[in-house]
Chains A and B, each alone.
Chain A
Amino acid sequence: MKFLRNNLDKIKPLFVKGGKYEKYAPAFSGIETFLFVPNHTTKKGAHIRDGVDLKRVMMVVVIALLPAMIFGMWNVGYQNMGDGHGFWDYFLFGAVRFVPMILVSYIVGLGIEFAYAIMRGHEVNEGYLVTGLLIPLIMPIDFPLWMLAISVVFAVIIGKEAFGGTGMNILNPALIARAFALFAYAPFMSGNTVWVADSVADGVSGETILGTLAANQQPTTSVYDMFMGFIPGSVGETSVLMILIGAAILLFAGIGSWRIMLATLIGGSVMGLIFNAIGSSTNELFNFPWWKHLIVGGFAFGLVFMATDPVTAAQTTTGKWIYGFLIGIFAILIRVVNPTLPEGMMMAILLMNVFAPTIDHYVIQSNVKRRKNRLLKVKA
């Protein structure tokens, strides 16, 4: 540690103002502050500060994603090979396919972030630590790496940097990557062959539950398998149990908004109940029990890790309730009534990302109105 620190201090002068590599200062600082929390002291305002910072916050989210990720890699192997193999056989099969996706996502995404930081002369933001892991977790395992790279480029440049970088974006960058991939490379993103690795070559059925339902059949998968995640799907989304562990970590640390999570859950349940009550003889999704909607597809993963993204969610307390509730409503609505888009969660969150500022606007206007009414009461 001391050795590392000494060497950093030795080369630091090259990157300060007037140094040889002055314009690369943000890149140097990005790496330096990753290794060491800097020696910056308070210059104005409060003299003491909370121990938390954005790096710590983002790393908590990364840790919360790990159970789903590790299980997902195992499940990639399990879905391809079926019963009768050991843990490591499954896990390595998945890891060989999934780790390159993580690497591509991080290298491409962070590369762009560093380039923008150097261009604009600002610090590298930590947001991509989470986005970079979320993107591969919501893609099909067989998604070609070059397509993944292009999706990342699109998400980071158009979805984030065009708006001014971390904290300024309107839409969740990870979902932009997935939406981009869905529309640009539809054959690789939908259908019954993409959700299990090498399903065509190995002749494995890769039917998802929502796919089966969209084809107007009730799935035969047990509730236990749905909840545990022994089903085809993107790496991160299948195991509700692992997602719940992640949610517990986020809620314990006080990072994720429990209001958004709960509101989304309520919204999804309400919509599912409505469809169950209506029923349909031509669309089996109407008849799929409401509570099962909550444990299949991307609903749980989106609820815990995507809807709660603080930058793109509603920012007021009341707004969070409305925002979450509507995500739940729209996720199930889109899923059920639009069979070409069985994954409604992504669309619902992106849609509500767009409306989040409007929701906040009305919540805040009511506060403004209250303040003005107080004055009128005094004058009266």
Chain B
Amino acid sequence: MQTMSKDITIKKGLDIKLKGKAQQKLSIAPRSKLFAIKPAHFHGIIPKVVVKEGDKVKVGDVIFYSKSNEAVKITSPVSGEVKEIIRGAKRVVLTVVIVADGQDVYKEFKVEPVSKQNKEGLIKVLLESGCWPFIKQRPYDIIANPEDNPKSIFISAFATAPLSADFDFVLKGREKEFQTGIEVLTKLTAGKVHLGIAAGCNSFLANIQGAEIHRISGKHPAGNVGVQIAHIDPVNVGERVWTIKPQDVAAIGSLFLTGKMNPGIVVALAGSQVLEPQYYQVSRGSQIEPIIKGKISERKNRVISGNPLTGHLLTKGDYLGYYDDTVTVLPEGDHHEFFGWMPFLGNHKFSMSHTFFSWLNSKKEYDLDTNLNGEERAFVLTGEMEQVFPMDIYPMQLLKAAMANDIEKMENLGIYEVSPEDFALIDFVSSSKIEAQDIIRNGLDLMIKEVG
């Protein structure tokens, strides 16, 4: 297939320049003794755990499957012994903890060359190996249903979120895996596989075969896959589009090249409180402590799995998110600030508005903490959300429809085209401190329940 290139420039958005961007240096992180699989990382999945405490597992052995679709399995990213199954209220499974062996032993999956396989055969191996959950769907931003026929598949290899891992770097040396992964994906859809890359990208990504390549330029959220879908092939009512992250494409390629589920992932350890921000080779599900130990400041910090806009908070002893390729460490912001709202003062803070003078220095990198910088209020200002929302959607009206649980209105206003991450910058810029991602997640969950 001929590779085509279509350039897209996104005009709206906001780049948040933070201190502590990961340097392009890769080390192997010390192997964690404890690993965990947390059902909460797989939104919408109700787990049926198939292992018991004390069971021995290999990499690729099933830990749990989805109650609503038993074919969708989550498999172990490590070989070892199931130490504990932690349950919460109503016996909901919170965490399956595994004590790692010194060296990984892999379950072997029977794979044939991709070119000789059809869609059904490929999906079977993806499901068995636990690689299926890498594929997500729009609408709803949940794990894809293997029975669907997506109209297209999108991969964004253009990172624009603050401090997020640079895909050119994390994929270095994995050209073969990535190309094989793309080959697999092209067989899963009757439509096209779209690969979004940075306008200035000159890595192997620019020469990938089988995918339509789009050179994207613009501020965040230009790198969000949802924004790229909206500009290339927007989701209509009843349609399915699948999305997958670049390192997960390589993991799928690796599966079909080796017959093993490859749980390895390169993460950026970044943020102002990281002493030497750089990249680390880890395994999915690793406990976070061994990765960050001795590498972060002594301040009262917040460790985030993911980037500062969309990541989730890690408590002490917690584990890396299954899909996350970034770990961010920021200072906690639990301090009072005397007359901190005084306009045009306080230039250590960053704002899209020009109510600080800090915007005059566009090169400045900020050491932002986790202070809310205000309190939640009713919607007052208009236009600020639209400035960071490069889709043909009215974000404030959609949020209000979601808050009112108005299904018809949500559908009319484009709920099927968005995911919470597309609203992350709205969380950030909102002067009323509206929790937009949370509202949209609830809206999407309601749509799943009511429309399906």
- State how many residues of chain A have any CB contact under 8 Å with chain B: 58
A48 lies within 8 A of B309 (CB): yes
- Pick from A253, A311, A371, A375: contact of B380, CB under 8 Å: A311
Q: A residues 233-272 with Cβ under 8 Å of B?
A: 252-255, 257
Residue of B at shortest CB range from A374? B236
Q: What 0/1 readout, one digit per residue, does chain B (267-307) give for beta carbons within 8 Å of chain A?
A: 00000000000000000000000000000000000101000
B16 at the interface (CB under 8 A from A): yes
A-side residues, CB < 8 A to B, are 1, 4-5, 33, 35-42, 44-57, 59-60, 63, 123, 125-127, 165-168, 252-255, 257, 310-311, 313, 315-317, 320, 364, 367-368, 370-372, 374-375, 378
B355 lies within 8 A of A56 (CB): yes
Q: Identify whether the interface residues of B are mostly helix, strand, loop, or mixed.
A: loop
B336 lies within 8 A of A167 (CB): no
State the CA gap A374–B235 with chains docked (Å). Answer: 10
B427 lies within 8 A of A39 (CB): no
CB A257 to nearest CB in B, in angstroms, measures 6
Q: 5 A-B residue contacts at CB 8 Å?
A: A37-B336, A41-B333, A46-B428, A52-B355, A52-B431
CB B340 to nearest CB in A, in angstroms, measures 3
**9 smallest beta-carbon distances between A and B, as pairs:** A53-B374, A167-B378, A51-B349, A37-B340, A55-B341, A46-B427, A36-B336, A45-B427, A375-B236
Please indicate the chain B residues that have their CB under 8 angstroms from the CB of A1 in the complex: 338
Q: What 0/1 readout, one digit per residue, does chain B (333-375) give for beta carbons within 8 Å of chain A?
A: 1111111111100100111111110100000000011111111
CB B308 to nearest CB in A, in angstroms, measures 5
B-side residues, CB < 8 A to A, are 16, 18, 162, 234, 236-239, 302, 304, 308-311, 313, 328, 330, 332-343, 346, 349-356, 358, 368-375, 377-383, 386, 392-394, 396-397, 412-414, 424-425, 427-433, 435-438
State the CA gap A39–B334 with chains docked (Å). Answer: 4
State the CA gap A41–B304 with chains docked (Å). Answer: 14
Please indicate the chain B residues that have their CB under 8 angstroms from the CB of A54 in the complex: 374, 377, 380-381, 431-432
Please indicate the chain A residues that have their CB under 8 angstroms from the CB of B430 in the complex: 50
Please indicate the chain B residues that have their CB under 8 angstroms from the CB of A59 in the complex: 341-343
CB B440 to nearest CB in A, in angstroms, measures 10
Please indicate the chain B residues that have their CB under 8 angstroms from the CB of A368 in the complex: 412-413
Q: A52-B355, A56-B341, A364-B413 are in contact. Are A44 and B435 (CB under 8 A)?
A: yes
Please indicate the chain B residues that have their CB under 8 angstroms from the CB of A375 in the complex: 236-238
- Pick from B346, B368, B378, B386: contact of A168, CB under 8 Å: B378
B313 lies within 8 A of A47 (CB): yes
Residue of B at shortest CB range from A360? B397
Q: A167-B380, A168-B378 are in contact. Are A45 and B435 (CB under 8 A)?
A: yes
Please indicate the chain A residues that have their CB under 8 angstroms from the CB of B356 in the complex: 51-52
CB A12 to nearest CB in B, in angstroms, measures 11
Please indicate the chain A residues that have their CB under 8 angstroms from the CB of B368 in the complex: 48
State the CA gap A51–B432 with chains docked (Å). Answer: 11
A51 lies within 8 A of B336 (CB): no
- Pick from B338, B425, B433: contact of A36, CB under 8 Å: B338
- Pick from B343, B352, B372, B394: contact of A364, CB under 8 Å: B394
CB B159 to nearest CB in A, in angstroms, measures 16
